[in-house]
Amino acid sequence: MFYREQLKGNSCERKTLSFTFDDGPGKTVGIGPGPKTVEIAQYLHDQEIPATFFCVGSTILKYTEVLDDISYYGHTIGNHTYSHMNMVNGLIEGKDIMSEISLTTQLIQKYSHGRILFRAPWGEWTAKVADYLNDNIMDANIYVGPFYWDIDGSDWNHWLKKQSAEECAMRYLTDIWQINKGIILMHDSSADSITAKDNNLCYETIKILVPLLKELGFKFVSLEEASSYV
């Protein structure tokens, strides 16, 4: 079901984290900046770290094969709407917010094991949106969410400013150290900005951040382990 309040990392113990990635999937040919969803998935698998990738349906159609790789590496594929729609504005404006979700569910359902994790774009959500979806969308009981986050180092803003992976990693490390636990929001691609997409260094940032977090004694869990819900 869709919850009226967004889910955060309430079940996380101290020094426990859950990685989540929005706006993908994405692929970059050759070296240099750009979306690298498969590389992130493989690296985290090799580090024995589970992650959740909240994918945009319209982008899945461009990189359908990437979902096979995300699943192969043992990660969860979640629903991030079809066009990265603001769900609150969409409901107010009378747009078809149900199709935004159901179309993406059709694309990811074979990877879901019967349960679809959902995150609202930009974290925009209200109780009215939850009630509307629960009352109208087909099989609302298969959905869990929306999942929010506890830690957001604004990686997308680093890419807009063409900043380095080192700068981004240090921002996340500072925020993680202060908050000390919870769900981390990152972006393996960008659904809204070509500049942020083209300058994406999420993969490079992860490779800096993970070893530092391990040295500091942090452990990593799945999104469902990180969140408490009924």
Q: Indicate the number of domains in the chain.
A: 1
- 64 domain residue, yes or no: yes
In 3D space, the residue among 207, 200, 196, 199 whose CA is nearest the CA of residue 169 turns out to be 207
Contact 151, 179 (CB under 8 A): yes
Q: How confident is the model at residue 10 (pLDDT cuts 50, 70, 90)?
A: confident
Residue 211 within any structural domain of the chain: yes
pLDDT tens across 32-63, in order?
Answer: 899 999 999 999 999 999 999 999 999 999 99
> Does 79 score more than 70 pLDDT?
yes
Would residue 152 count as lying in a domain?
A: yes
Indicate if the pLDDT at residue 202 is higher than 70. yes
Whether residue 23 lies inside any domain: the answer is yes
- How does pLDDT run across 171-181, given as a tens digit for each residue? 999 999 999 99
State which amino acid sits at residue 217.
Answer: G
Q: Is the pLDDT of residue 228 over 80?
A: no
CA distance 123 to 86: 9
pLDDT band of residue 147 (cuts 50, 70, 90) is very high
**What are residue 28's phi and psi, to 5 degrees?**
-130, 130
Which of the four pLDDT bands, split at 50, 70 and 90, describes residue 229?
low
pLDDT at 230: 45
Asked if residue 230 belongs to a domain, the reply is no
- Which residue type is seen at 53? F
Q: Is residue 145 part of a domain?
A: yes
Tell me the residue range of the domain where 118 lies.
Answer: 2-225
In whole angstroms, how far apart are CA 78 and each of 11, 110, 175? 19, 12, 25
- Residue 188, both tokens: 């393996």
Has residue 195 been placed in a domain? yes
CA distance 130 to 4: 5
Count CA atoms within 13 Å of residue 31 on its CB side: 0
Q: Is residue 94 part of a domain?
A: yes
What pLDDT sits at residue 114?
85
Whether pTM exceeds 0.75: yes
Res 90 pLDDT > 80: yes
Q: Please tell me the distance from the alpha carbon of residue 219 to that of residue 144, in angstroms, as a whole number.
A: 24
Looking at residue 97, its pLDDT comes to: 97
- What CATH number does residue 140 fall under? 3.20.20.370
